[in-house]
Amino acid sequence: MDVKGVAQALDAAAMNGKAVNQFSTNESYDLKQAYEIQSHSIGLRLARGEQLIGYKMGFTSKAKMEQMGVHELIFGRLTDAMQFQDAATVDMDKMIHPRAEPEIAFRISQDISEPLTLENASSYVDSVAVALEIIDSRYENFKFSLEDVVADNCSSIGFALGPWLPVETNIKNILMSMVNLDVIISKGNSDAILGNPWESLVEASRTALKYNSEIKKGHIVLAGAATAAVHLKKGMVLSAHAEGLGSVSLDVE
Ligand code: OOG
Ligand code: MG
């Protein structure tokens, strides 16, 4: 597998909003190589001046696994260029086939140098927030293998955050929903995320250490969606809601 060549192809596909064929249909590759491709393609962004600001977890709920047919946790990187402000406008013409999902975000309060546990995870976090993630697979028809989606940085394209709230704010067993112009279009419970959304941070700490990434003070970690993702359409005014955490919205043009 030409790690650098695939990373460049995926980076170009993301920049130009043009889909490419899945790589796994032509050549088999393993998860380690997939994370190398991801790391290299994020390296291309960093070389252009983007900053690494955190990580995202994927396939942490059954709803997402079943929607996409991938049944293992995945881990991707977030840069500052991927962050939208609350109430910003998202330009669909720059994207391929975007979808949206409601998420929970953690803000990290100290560098994580060992795998966390459910008992100590909250001592590495100072705030939590509701998030609205937009995903946009670079593969034709939004179809991929586990390795393909990891190489493609877990379909990340952007996210927006609601207000940061103290770490003590309850995120367990809360209702999460995606709303378009006052109509609920998807909903779930935060405990659909690995039985407890804090578990997603525990998994993020393990995966980061395994693949030589460092979750650092100030980083953001997205826990993964509790619901299936919904297709974006022009004219939508999307908002992600999490009970007790408020909401965050994006306009789709
Ligand atoms: C991969 C990204 C998964 C999540 O929250 O589970 C993800 C995809 O569905 O294309 O972001
Ligand atoms: Mg997500």
Residues, CB within 5 angstroms of ligand 2 (ion):
133, 225
Please tell me the chain's helix, strand, coil percentages from 3-state DSSP, rounded to the nearest 5: 30, 30, 35
Ligand 1: does its nearest atom lie under 6 Å from the Cβ of 225? yes
CA of 64 to the centre of ligand 2 (A): 9
On the CB side of 164, CA atoms within 13 Å amount to: 12
Ligand 1: does its nearest atom lie under 6 Å from the Cβ of 136? no
From first to last of its 253 residues, what are the pLDDT tens digits of the chain? Answer: 999 999 999 999 999 999 999 999 999 999 999 999 999 999 999 999 999 999 999 999 999 999 999 999 999 999 999 999 999 999 999 999 999 999 999 999 999 999 999 999 999 999 999 999 999 999 999 999 999 999 999 999 999 999 999 999 999 999 999 999 999 999 999 999 999 999 999 999 999 999 989 999 999 999 999 999 999 999 999 999 999 999 999 999 9
Sign of the alpha-carbon dihedral angle for 92, 77, 122, 115: positive
Residue carrying structure tokens 């013409």: 93
Residues 197, 81: Cα–Cα separation, whole Å: 25
Radius of gyration of the chain (CA): 17
CA of 8 to the centre of ligand 2 (A): 23
- pLDDT reported for residue 231: 98
Q: Phi/psi of residue 224, each to 5°?
A: 100, 155
Q: State the distance between the two ends of the chain, measured CA to CA, in whole angstroms.
A: 38
CA of 38 to the centre of ligand 1 (A): 15
Ligand 1: does its nearest atom lie under 6 Å from the Cβ of 137? yes
Atom of ligand 1 nearest to the CA of 68: 9
The closest alpha carbon to 37, from 152, 137, 142, belongs to 152
| Contact indicator for 92, 98 with CB cutoff of 8 Å | yes
Give DSSP secondary structure letters for 105-154: EEEE-S-B-S---TTTGGGGEEEEEEEEEEE--SBGGG---HHHHHHTGG
- pLDDT reported for residue 188: 97
The closest alpha carbon to 237, from 247, 252, 223, 248, belongs to 252
Q: Which two tokens stand for residue 197?
A: 């959304």
CA of 75 to the centre of ligand 2 (A): 10
For a mutational test of ligand 1's pocket, the pick from 101, 103, 156, 178, i.e. the residue with the most ligand atoms closer than 8 A to its C-beta, is 101
- pLDDT reported for residue 164: 98
pTM of structure: 0.98
Calculate the alpha carbon distances from 85 to 80, 150, 230 in Å.
Answer: 11, 26, 20
Residues 204, 164: Cα–Cα separation, whole Å: 20
Query: Residue 114, Cβ neighbours under 10 Å: how many?
Result: 9
- Secondary structure class of 193 (helix, strand, coil): coil
Atom of ligand 1 nearest to the CA of 64: 6
Ligand 1: does its nearest atom lie under 6 Å from the Cβ of 70? no
